[in-house]
Amino acid sequence: MSNNTYDNQEKLRAAYALNMCTVSVSQIVDYNDEYILEQEYEAILNNLNLEEMPKDEALLNILVKLLNVITFFRIDKVKRAQIEKKYQRNVKNAIWSAVPNIGVIVAGDPVTVGLSLATQVGIGYMNYRKAKANALADKENSEVELRITAMEQFNALRRELFTTAWRLADEYEFPDRYRLTERQISQYNEILMDTDEIRKYERLTAIEDKFEAYLPFWYYKGHTAKFIAEDKSNSIDDSAREYYIKQAKEHFERYEKLNSFNILREDELTASFALEYVDLLLLDDQPDMDKIKELITTAVKMAGNANDILELCAVAYLKTGQTEEASRLLRILVNENYNAATNAKLLSRIYVSEFLRDTNPLAKVQYETLARRVSPAWLFPMPEEKNGDTLLLDQNLRNRYLSDQRIDLQKDYQDIIGQFIDKNIVLFNRIIPVPVNDAPDDYFSNTESAIKRRRQDVYEALEKDSRNEYRQSIRESGYRFRYIELINEMLTALDSLTLFRDSEEKGDMIQGIRQKLEETSGDLKAIQEKLNHDDRFSIMDYEKIQKSFSFERLTKDFFDKLNEIVEEGINKAESLDELDNLDLDLSAFCREHGLTESNQNHVGKIGSPDDDEESVYISVDVLGENEKDERFNKNKFISMLRAVEEAAGSIIADETKTELLVKGSQQFDLYFKNVNLKGDAFKVKTLAVIDDQSRADQDLFITSDGVVPVKHGKVDKLRRFEKIEYQGKSLKLGWPEEYSNSAVNLGNLYSLIEKLGKIRNE
């Protein structure tokens, strides 16, 4: 037992330090994530407040051990990459070893060359398989060694943690309930993932007695209570909201008391706590301003260089009338080019206000300095001099600024809507399959050259499509239904823009698109009938689809009207607050859909009010009643792949002669890298490959449509599941073709083929 006497705060500090180490260990073990590793490494090496850390050898040892383990896993990642690179290099070398000696071809007579090549190809192929197997074995051995070493590292870390807990408990004599276990931490992390906030709060309450000495727990409990109180969608009454506000304040007070020994130099959690507590205190009838100012100071101190937190601190200063402190932070943020547009607006407004009120003799100089560093369009206008009524002058400046901001915002909306149209044109044009792999976005644009290029490629593919494979890809693309899905996705995306969502003309605009879809549905049905039955689909049919279902034809009137609505809506905005809300709408829309803002410096909530639900504005009945979606169901593909995986162990009778390579395995991917097939079409639809390693080299692709024989790397035509018959020693693929392989259990293979056929036809 310890001879030292420690007060309760010192005991809590020691327990908190131990718990932080336990959480670090738990996160490293549970996640093994590069970001988590870097975060923990940074926290230990550069963010510990050594002045507040208990000076105990046991804590030092566990922290050093943590750093060592984190370093091990950073090195481990590099080693794994090297192992993979070495394996791929060895496989490549194995392939080259199978190539015949070029000297024999050049120097020998025809008979000698023929015999030598036959011998070399056979030996080379066997050498390749052997070298490939050896390379894979070396790779697996190296990876096993790494896994064993990782387990040893974890074990040692856990042992060290247990030793640390033992020594600290003995030295500080704190209650065992202060100490967190990995199981408690896992439960806590799971609770924090709960999306039902009220249930989350109840679950946190149930375990709070285990977290007396863990500071973050009290922040998250207070944050959850505050969220419940402010959430207008949970339908709780006013008295319940008051209860949760009261609870949030109590939890934040508990956090503040424990935070007296914060052992981190910078702590975004503490900064967040302080700002959220400020929001609660400002709700009081007579807010404790001294307390509020102290909390904001804490938030700034603990934010460090986290610009997003400093932004919120600046806003908190403005809420409480501390404009001098706010401008100090805003200058920092503008200098760092963080959210420069918004911060320059706020800062310029402060300078103009100080100039008009004579509260800052340097206001005009500071404004001019700011004007040289940012876009003048962002700045609140500064008057040349103060003439007459300053209040009237201020109002005139507001009106002028409001007018300028309207014009700028209208230009921004017009630009972003244009980008959104271009993006959807590409997505729309990608729906009809083209015979070009990995074509760039430019290929699918609506420029004259891109349209001509697509038409020429499709024309050539249709001319060469003797097996109807390309026509089949169009038939099964379900393009008609996919067009409607894309338009619904587009309309749902636009719903995040208030000006569209709340427009009285929204319904008529959508009806206009629906009407154009109805007008073309008959022609499209006739074209689909050609694809479904007699394969007479021609380039004229392709052009008809492109013309009838062009994105421009379907949506031009819609977007022309949308631009009108945006212009009118912005003109009606009567305050800067309204314009800022519309600006934030646009910023969130850009981030959500990968569009480029004229300035990328906004902050705001990403997403629409109904982020989790996609609206269906136009139903598929616009194509006619009982129309069938011709797309092959992805769920069916997954079911077929599962059937292959279940049967895999019973298909191959002799693994030394033949392998079954199932989709998703490294061997499957490597096969398609080593064989010379045009494009990725076969790989995409292939469930497994029966890789014949004999000199006959008669492989068989098992695809979602049927089987495809591959002889010496040459792909034969597709054989549908229902056309295949089993006759004891071979599979009949349609006279005169058959498939046989003594290393394959043909009966089990046929059973799998029957099962796949049933899944496809369900």
Of 107-121, 218-232, 719-733, 747-761, the least confident: 107-121
Burial of 382-396, coded b for 16+ CB within 10 Å and e otherwise, reads bbeeeeeeeeebeee
Of 69-78, 155-164, 632-641, 721-730, the least confident: 155-164
| Dihedral angle sign, alpha carbons of residues 649, 654, 655, 659 | negative
Would you report the helix, strand and coil content of the chain in percent, each value rounded to 5? 70, 5, 25
Question: Do 298 and 317 contact (CB within 8 A), yes or no?
Answer: no
Indicate if the pLDDT at residue 201 is higher than 90.
yes
Task: Check residue 530 and give its pLDDT.
Answer: 84
- Between 265 and 497, whose confidence is greater? 497
Task: Check residue 161 and give its pLDDT.
Answer: 52
Binned at pLDDT 50, 70 and 90, residue 135 comes out as low
CA 160, 164, 167 angle in degrees (round to 5)?
Answer: 135
Question: Do 314 and 320 contact (CB within 8 A), yes or no?
Answer: no
Task: Check residue 600 and give its pLDDT.
Answer: 45
Of 292, 293, 289, 279, nearest in space to 230 by CA: 279
Whether residue 736 is preceded by a cis peptide bond, meaning omega within 30 degrees of 0, is yes
Indicate if the pLDDT at residue 665 is higher than 70.
yes
Tell me how far CA of residue 274 lies from CA of 163, 302, 303, in angstroms: 35, 10, 10
- Between 116 and 647, whose confidence is greater? 647
Count of other CB atoms within 10 angstroms of residue 354: 20
C-alpha 264: how far from chain center? 30
Segment 605-630 mean pLDDT: 59
The torsion angle over the Cα atoms of residues 323, 328, 334 and 338, rounded to 10 degrees, is -90
Q: What percent of the chain has pLDDT over 90?
A: 18
3-state secondary structure of 269: helix
Segment 184-206 mean pLDDT: 84
Query: Cβ contacts of residue 182 below 8 Å, gap of 6+?
Result: 22, 25, 26, 29
The CATH label, of 1.10.10, 1.25.40, 3.30.160, 1.10.3470, for the domain at 212-383 is: 1.25.40
Q: What is the mean pLDDT of the chain?
A: 76
Task: Check residue 115 and give its pLDDT.
Answer: 43
- Rg of the chain over all Cα atoms, to the nearest angstrom: 35
Residue identified by tokens 């959500």 is: 592
Residue identified by tokens 């939890």 is: 251
Stretch (H or E) spanning 11: helix 8-31
Residue 701 φ/ψ, nearest 5 degrees: -90, 130
Indicate if the pLDDT at residue 406 is higher than 60.
yes
Give per-residue pLDDT as tens, 412-442.
999 999 999 999 999 999 988 888 887 888 9
Stretch (H or E) spanning 166: helix 110-172
Binned at pLDDT 50, 70 and 90, residue 261 comes out as low
468: left (phi over 0), alpha (psi -120 to 50) or beta: left
Of 109-123, 621-635, 648-662, the least confident: 109-123
List the domain boundaries for the chain.
8-178, 212-383, 415-569+585-623, 634-761
3-state secondary structure of 127: helix
Q: What percent of the chain has pLDDT over 70?
A: 69
Give per-residue pLDDT as tens, 535-579.
678 899 888 888 777 889 899 999 999 999 999 999 998 887 788
> What is the distance between the alpha carbons of residues 734 and 357, in angstroms, rounded to a whole number?
93
Task: Check residue 521 and give its pLDDT.
Answer: 85
Q: Cβ-count burial of 496 within 10 angstroms (0-12 exposed, 13-18 middle, 19+ buried)? A: buried
Question: Do 414 and 566 contact (CB within 8 A), yes or no?
Answer: yes
> What is the distance between the alpha carbons of residues 762 and 536, in angstroms, rounded to a whole number?
27
Question: Do 230 and 284 contact (CB within 8 A), yes or no?
Answer: no
Output the DSSP codes for 475-516.
HTTTHHHHHHHHHHHHHHHHTTSHHHHT-TTHHHHHHHHHHH
- Between 281 and 109, whose confidence is greater? 281
Q: In what order do the strands lie in the sheet with 737-739?
A: 725-726, 731-734, 737-739
Give per-residue pLDDT as tens, 295-307.
999 888 888 878 8
Question: Do 587 and 569 contact (CB within 8 A), yes or no?
Answer: no
Of 42-46, 259-263, 508-512, 631-635, the least confident: 42-46
- Between 634 and 130, whose confidence is greater? 634
> What is the distance between the alpha carbons of residues 105 and 117, in angstroms, rounded to a whole number?
8
Query: Cβ contacts of residue 258 below 8 Å, gap of 6+?
Result: 12, 16, 213, 215, 218
Give per-residue pLDDT as tens, 386-401.
766 777 777 788 788 8
Indicate if the pLDDT at residue 408 is higher than 50.
yes
Q: How many residues does the chain have?
A: 762
Segment 233-261 mean pLDDT: 87
Give per-residue pLDDT as tens, 328-364.
999 999 988 888 888 888 888 888 888 888 888 888 8
Output the DSSP codes for 410-475.
HHHHHHHHHHHHHHHHHHHHTSS--S-TT--GGGGS-SHHHHHHHHHHHHHHHHT-TT-HHHHHHH
- Between 150 and 539, whose confidence is greater? 539
Question: Do 27 and 36 contact (CB within 8 A), yes or no?
Answer: yes
Indicate if the pLDDT at residue 113 is higher than 60.
no
Give per-residue pLDDT as tens, 93-104.
544 444 444 333
